[in-house]
Structure 1
Amino acid sequence: MALYVYSIIAADHPARLDTLTGVGAEPSALRLVHAGSLSAVVSDIDHEVRAKRRDLTAHQEVQEQLMADGTVLPMQFGYIAPDDPTVKEALQQGEGAYLDALERLKGAAEYHVRASQDEEELLREILGESAEARRLNDRIKAGDADPRLPLQLGELIAVEVRDRQEALAAGLVQALLPFAREHAIRPPADGDILNVSLLVPDDQKGRFLDAEGSLARQVNGVDFRFTGPLPPYSFV
C-alpha cells in the first residue's frame, strides 16, 4: 500500500501522533517508519490525495504538532511513496543531509512576510517628486495633442514604480534580516512588492515581531501581511 509522507524527524522526537488525523477521505492512523537516526511520519493511502481544504489542513496540523515538540523537516503537500522499504531506503541514503538539516533548523521557525503598496499614493508621490513626470502630465492635462506624451509618461512612471518598489522591498528585507538565521526571497505576485520567508530563531522571536510591528507603523502606504510561526518549508 502506498504511503503519504508528512515529515522527517529525528528518531528520538516525541512524535505525539495519537490526536492527529491524516489525509484522505478515510484517513489511516499516522505512524512512523524508522531508519537509523531518523523517522518518517506517514499514513497509508489507497487513492490519490487532492489539495482539498480538509487534507491541506490535516497536513499542516501534523507539521504544527510535531514542530511543538521538536525540529521537523516538513514535506510539501502531496508527497507519496510506494511502500515502507522505499521510505527506509530514502532515509538511509539521505541520513547525513537530513541530520544536517535538522541541526540547522533546530530552535527556529519560518515567518512569511508579504507587502503591497498603495499604487495611487505611489503615483502621487512620483508626480510630486519627478519634475519630468510632472511636466509630461501637465502637458497632457493642458490638452497637448502630441501622441507621444502618454507613452513617454507611462514609460517614465513604469521605471519609477519599479525602481522605487525594488528599493523599498530591499530596505524592508534589510530591516528584518538581523533577526533571521536564513531568508528566502521569491518573486512577488498578485500586486505585491515583497515576498520573503525568514528562518527566525526562537530567542529572536520577540525582537522580530517588534520589528514587524514597527515597520507596519512607520512605512506609510504599505500593507504588510505577516504569517508565522510556520514549519520551515522554505528551508528544507
Structure 2
Amino acid sequence: MSLRLHGVVRARHRWPDGSPFRLIVVDDLAVVVSDHHSELTEQDATANLAGLCALLLAGPVLPLRIGTVAVDEEAARAAVLALTVPALRAHLERLDGLAEMHVRLAFDEETALRAVFDEGAFTGGGRDLASTIGRGEQIAQAVAAWRGKQADALLAPVSALSRSVAMLDAREHTEDLRAFLVPLDQAEAVRTAVAGFDGVVATCTGPLPAFHFLDLAPQPVSRWGW
C-alpha cells in the first residue's frame, strides 16, 4: 500500500485527536501521511484540507502538492530530504504563528459598468467587428481597473494586518480574490473586517496553511484552488 503525502511539520508537533493522518519522522521534522487506496476524489481533497487546517492550530504546516504519493515510508522520507531539511526548517520558522486567509469580493456587474461609463473610461469607435471587439476589451479593462481600486480600498484594513498578500485568479471578471498571510491571532479580526464590508458580496476563508506563500518544489496549488 502506498502513502499519500500531505505536508511537513516539526517532529514535536502536537497531534489533534481524531486526525486521519499520521507522522513519519525525518530528523527533527515529520512528513504527514495517510494510506493511499485510490485516485484522489473531491471528498479526499476536502478531508486533506480539513486535516491540514486542524494541524495548523498547533504549529506551522508546510503543505505539499495535493495528490503527492510515495510507495512506502522510506520513499516518503526521501521526498522530504529532497526538499532539503534546512530549507524546510527555515520555512517552518518563518511561518510559525501565521496562516493564510482568502478574501473574495464579488461586485455587482451593473454597478461596475455604470461606474466606468460615468467615468468615461473608454472611447467610441466604428461599427465594424474589430471596433466592437476593441470596445469590449476597453470596457473589460476599465471594469478590472475599477474593481481593483474598489478592492484595494475595502481591503486596506486587512492588508494592514497582513505580512504578505497574493493576488489569486477569480472565477468572474467582477470578482477579486486575494490571499493574506496573517498572524493566527488576527484571523478573527480579518473575518470581522470582511463581514463589515458594504456594497459587495464578501466571503472569507481560513485560517489555512500557507499554500500561496511557499516556494517549495513542486508548488502546493491544485485544481481545488488552494
Same fold (TM over 0.5): yes
Q: Structure 1 residue 131: deviation in Å? A: 9.3
Corresponding residue for 2:65?
Answer: 76
* Number of residue pairs the alignment of both structures matches: 211
Task: Kindly provide the amino acid, as one letter, of the partner of residue 125 in structure 1.
Answer: A
User: Pick from 141, 144, 167: which aligns with 1:185?
Assistant: 167
Within the candidate set 122, 126, 132, 2:112 is matched to 122
Pick which of 167-176 and 194-203 moved more. 167-176
Structure-to-structure mapping, 1:69-108, within 5 angstroms: 69-93=58-82, 94-108=84-98
Whether 2:61 is the aligned partner of 1:62: answer no
Query: Which residue, out of 154, 171, 190, partners 1:208?
Result: 190
What amino acid maps onto 1:225 in structure 2?
A: T
Aligned residue for 2:203? 225
**Offset, 1:192:** 4.1
- Counterpart CA distance in 1 for 2:78 and 2:121 is 65
User: 1:42 Cα shift?
Assistant: 1.1
- 1:15 Cα shift? 2.3
Q: Give the AA of the match of 2:212.
A: S
In the aligned structure 2, how far is the partner of 1:77 from the partner of 1:131?
42
Q: Is the 8 A contact 1:109 1:230 kept in 2?
A: yes
Counterpart of 1:209, as a letter, is R
Judged with a 3 Å threshold, the aligned counterparts in structure 2 of structure 1 residues 65 and 163 are, in CA distance, closer, same or farther, namely closer
TM-score under structure 2 length normalisation: 0.78
2:8 corresponds to 1:8: yes
Secondary structure of residue in 2 paired with 1:204: helix
Deviation at 1:59, TM superposition (A): 1.2
Residue 91 of structure 1: how far off its partner (Å):
2.5
> Where do 5+ consecutive residues of structure 1 fail to align?
22-29, 137-145
CA distance 1:64–1:203, shift in 2 (3 Å) = closer
Cα offset, 1:126, TM superposition: 3.1
- SS of the residue corresponding to residue 188 of structure 1 reads coil
SS at match of 1:167: helix
Partner residue of 2:220?
none
1:212, distance to aligned residue in structure 2 (A): 2.2
Could you say what secondary structure the match of 2:39 adopts? Answer: coil
Contact 1:166-1:193 at 8 Å conserved across structures: no
Q: Which amino acid aligns with 1:38?
A: L
Quick one: structure 1 residues 42 and 162, their matched pair in 2 at CA, closer, same or farther if it must change by over 3 Å? closer
Name the aligned partner's letter for residue 223 of structure 1.
V
Is the CA contact 1:11–1:38 (under 8 Å) kept in the aligned structure 2?
Answer: yes
Q: Deviations over 1:182-231 (max 9, x none)?
A: 221123323343111111102433443343234x12xx3x2222111222
Counterpart residue number, 2:19: 20
The root-mean-square deviation of aligned C-alpha atoms, in Å, is 2.9
Unaligned runs of 5+ in 2: 215-226
- String of CA shifts for 1:137-178, please: whole Å, max 9, x gaps: xxxxxxxxx846x83865653443233223333444544221
Q: Is the 8 A contact 2:159 2:165 kept in 1?
A: yes
1:165 equivalent in structure 2: 147
Q: How far apart, CA to CA, are the structure 2 residues paired with 1:155 and 1:42?
A: 47
Q: 1:49 to 1:161 in 2, by over 3 A?
A: same
Q: Secondary structure at the match of 1:13?
A: coil
Amino acid at match of 2:49: Q
CA distance in 2, matches of 1:196, 1:10: 28
Q: In the aligned structure 2, how far is the partner of 1:115 from the partner of 1:44?
A: 37
